[in-house]
Structure 1
Amino acid sequence: MLRIMPRTLPQRALFHRSFERVSLPELHSAIQEDQNTCYCQKLNARLPSATDPLDSQIKLPHRTPNYNKHVLLLSPGDKFSEPWKLAWNHNLDTNLTRPYNAISKLRSFLGNSPGILINAIHLQNEFMPRPTENDEWIHFFVIPDMKLYRIKETDIEKFASFLNEGVVQAPKLSFQDYLGGKAKAPEQDREIHHQNLTKFQGETFLRDWSLVCGHYKRDAKCGEIVTDIITAFRDEKLFPESNLAIISHVGGHVFAGNVIFYKLFNKENERNKLDSLWFGKVYPHNLKLLCQNLENKKIIDEMYRGGISMN
């Protein structure tokens, strides 16, 4: 049995779990490099000629993602067989058809709210109800709430305020205000207030998540590799009790395949704490090794992009 050799790096104290950072042993690393090169050559042969090839030699930077909520818009289950290829524009904010037009609307109402990521996903298993083509509701799953919210299109502005904790930030003085000699904004403009929010209840679904980037029109590498990774998840029965989904662009397409794991950390009366773990250079042949090590609270350093605790 191949052993993963621990590195001298410290454990991440910011995680709810205590993960150990490990590195591939030298022999196994050489085997992996050969497998990676072979796989990338095969995948590059499937790519459009204008797409930059997948390069297994590229080094992953380790960066801590900076966000506190992840809003996932669920794709309809019966509208497109492969929405990540057909329906998701290069920039999702330019999608004009339902339900994807809700993304630009939600983002506009959130304004410059820091720490909220918004993506589209297409579910690959049946642990959660998915919308239908003619569904009057727009389905958003919010992490770390771990709740599915069904929202009317007319309520997106209220939902944005709800996500943003209902606080309307005070407007700042513009440069024109400064030139005009204003020292501060008028009281009625700068007052911070709480709106009378619609209390969106949502339906709780307490499961881990495995999200694989597959945004084809953003980068064909992600769009091609995602089907191979999803097949590996199924064939190897990896995290079979987790929600499995294809997600729109999460950055770093040069590091395809990109996979995000959300791992719940259950304590009494603290059920919604979870760890967010981002990985790149995930290929079908190394996915099992990655998942087995995660099960044993180990992070393979060569595939690790970064992570953060959420609650």
Structure 2
Amino acid sequence: MSALRPFRLLSPRLVYVSRRTYASRTAIKIPAVAPSIPVIDHCPSPTCQCRPMPPDLDIDREKDLNGSMPNYAEQLVICSGKSDWQSRIEDEEGADGELVRSVKGLMGQGGKLSDPYHNVMITNSSFPPTSSSTQESATSAYLLPSFTYIPALPTAPTSVEAFLKAFALPSGLHQAHKILPIEQQNTLKRQPELQRSFVDARKVNEILILICGHGGRDSRCGVLGPLLRDEFEEKLQRQGVALLHDALLAPDTSDARTSVPAARVGLISHIGGHRWAGNVIIYIPPSFSSNILAGKGIWYGRVGPQHVEGIVAETVVKGQVIKELFRGAIGQGGETVRL
């Protein structure tokens, strides 16, 4: 039985601690502005056969997962076309590695666009780049929860800087930046007029299910990631959700009530919390207006094959959050959501 429970929105104060990560120092509670959202305590038991859970994965099943999601404003999901990566994705060869290094150089500590109050989380994914962008000097990427797809993203430093200024920087700065000179404040703010340079950029209208499968970082995710990917693809199709594999296919689901929903399922690199594998992020696009979770990214941990059917039915289809698996969520404004 589902119940309406209010989310608490937290405005995190972030401090930059290294070139690779941001950490939350304090969390300031503010009044909830989102409507109550349906929450169920436990994932329903599967009604059909699912893949067996691998034994002896040493998963932490004691900690309360609520609030364990890292704080971030945007997630940059790079289409590497690979299903695993080196432990540090900036050490990858090719366009995806170049893009990671450029973004970290610009937004990391001491970088020109560094902002400790606006964390952009960088992950590689198994999604293939758009075919026209397979040349060595370009790749494709998603920016979430902005729900934007850039099919042709050059990896030259000047192009990466233009991309970040156009799409990834904040529209408004944290009040702590008021002490900075106006010129520096303007450097850290988004310049939407630059988006005209990325003529093929589009809004994301499909559900994205991202599963940590970074075996090069931790064997638990390396084992569970591919298994969960296959399970999600099977259970989505059983619910009538079309699967997308070709990067060029982008259905318009602006009227989701009359359109067949579509989804992409992919493996991603490290997002934190390997001890709670499997880790899954479900981004439901704003165009799915019939789903109360539209426009949000829902983080789940300790996901096993036995949970997938329930997640698809309850979260993807019905828009209900499963409390026992819930790590947190993010809205389009970058607000962090807790139960």
How high is the TM-score relative to the length of structure 1? 0.70
**Contact 2:61/2:302 (8 A) holds in 1:** no
Structure 1 gap segments, 5+ residues each = 45-52, 77-82, 173-183
How far does residue 168 in structure 1 lie from its aligned partner after superposition? 10
- What's 2:265 paired with? 244
Count of equivalent residues: 262
Identity of aligned residues (%): 18
Determine whether 1:212 maps to 2:222: no
The whole-number CA distance in structure 2 between the counterparts of 1:195 and 1:208 is 26
**1:136-285 counterparts in 2 under 5 A?**
136-149=137-150, 150-154=152-156, 155-162=159-166, 163-164=168-169, 192=186, 198-199=194-195, 200-201=198-199, 202-236=201-235, 237=237, 239-240=241-242, 241-266=262-287, 274-285=295-306
**Contact 2:65/2:327 (8 A) holds in 1:** yes
**Structure index of larger Rg:** 1
The whole-number CA distance in structure 2 between the counterparts of 1:213 and 1:292 is 21
Structure 2 gap segments, 5+ residues each = 10-32, 109-113, 243-261, 334-339
The whole-number CA distance in structure 1 between the counterparts of 2:36 and 2:80 is 34
Amino acid at match of 2:59: D
**Contact 1:60/1:255 (8 A) holds in 2:** no
The whole-number CA distance in structure 2 between the counterparts of 1:129 and 1:307 is 28
**1:123-134 counterparts in 2 under 5 A?**
123=127, 129=130, 133-134=134-135
Q: Deviations over 1:193-218 (max 9, x none)?
A: 57987433413331121111101111
How far does residue 229 in structure 1 lie from its aligned partner after superposition? 0.7
Q: Deviations over 1:141-177 (max 9, x none)?
A: 21233332222222112222222159999xx9xxxxx
User: Secondary structure of the residue that 2:230 maps to in structure 1?
Assistant: helix
**Contact 1:16/1:265 (8 A) holds in 2:** no
Amino acid at match of 2:271: V
The whole-number CA distance in structure 2 between the counterparts of 1:65 and 1:191 is 26
Determine whether 1:12 maps to 2:7: yes
Residue in structure 1 matching 2:102, options 81, 101, 105: 105
How far does residue 232 in structure 1 lie from its aligned partner after superposition? 0.8
**1:78-97 counterparts in 2 under 5 A?**
83-85=82-84, 88-97=85-94
Determine whether 1:72 maps to 2:69: no
- 1:299–1:192 distance in 2 versus 1, CA, 3 Å: closer
Structure 1 residue runs of 4+, over 6 Å off? Answer: 166-169, 194-197
